[in-house]
Structure 1
Amino acid sequence: MSTPRDDDALSWGGDDDPTLDVGEKRVSEAEPLPLQHEAEPEPLQPEPLSTSAAPASRHPGTAPEADAETTDEGDAEHSAPLGNVGLVGIGMIAATFLLFAVGWLVAGFRLRDLGLPIPDVTVLALTIAATLAPPVWFVTVLALTRGWRTWQRFLLLILGILLLVPWPFLSLGASV
């Protein structure tokens, strides 16, 4: 059996305040509250939705009634945040695009040293454009596909990886 001193160790000063109770109230410990003679307010009734407050359809030209079925199912997927696997995947793809940008930069400077019959200004401009292409693709896909499904976003990012491989860097290698 516990002593009152043990019970004091498990409580804080002011714990007996009835406004702090959130769970069950014990009849023996609860103090009776004074009765209020005011009438209880009526519960709020939801107002009917007007057509102006309805969300805009994704596809112009479709009726809101036809789109209502798809929004209930589709919005749950669109509004759900990425899970841990999705965030790690985005991070790996971002690192790949960053490495591709460095590869294009290195390849551009190596092409300049090959003595191609192209003016150096042109090679420099193309090197800058090629270096910026992977980060621009990554940011553009993430910004423009916010409402899309996760697999569609990853598909576009993987397409960018396939399109923006720094082939000059891979073909020249470290030999030059």
Structure 2
Amino acid sequence: MQQVLLIVDVQSTFSPPEWLVDGLRAFSAKIPTIATVEIHDEQVTPFQRQLGWHPAAQDENLIEADKVFIKHGYGQTTETIEYIKQLGVDRVLVCGMQTETCVLAAGFALFDAGLTPTLVTDLTVGSSLDRSGELGIKLWKHHFGHVTTRAEVNALLEAR
């Protein structure tokens, strides 16, 4: 099975927990990895005007990745989706920050592009509304069905 890992917004702005950063570093070393970094540009996404806060105007991905894409707002860029489609993967493993917002938005973009988004449930953290990520995991299962864990993916990789 051809697969790629998409790490969503694991960057300083969102203060990812150390266990997530460590887990992603170990996991991403085993699989082709793409990452996104959310950068604030009020002209593109009106975070400050509408929500009274905004991500940093400059930030960087905290996990080594083969390719990093900059995005503004919750969704994925056309460039990111096109890049993933060109890889010809069977599924896209998705993990990262804010399970019920940015991670879920990545799932919608991937699904709408005809790809198979699969949430790695033990490598995701929810927003301040639900740090456990359980709400996002439930929404993911409802909308896309496909979820997995690090252990399941590692077992598939080792079986090769």
Q: TM-score, normalised by structure 1?
A: 0.17
Structure (1 or 2) with the greater strand fraction: 2
Structure that is richer in helix per residue: 1
Query: Of the two, which has the highest radius of gyration?
Result: 1
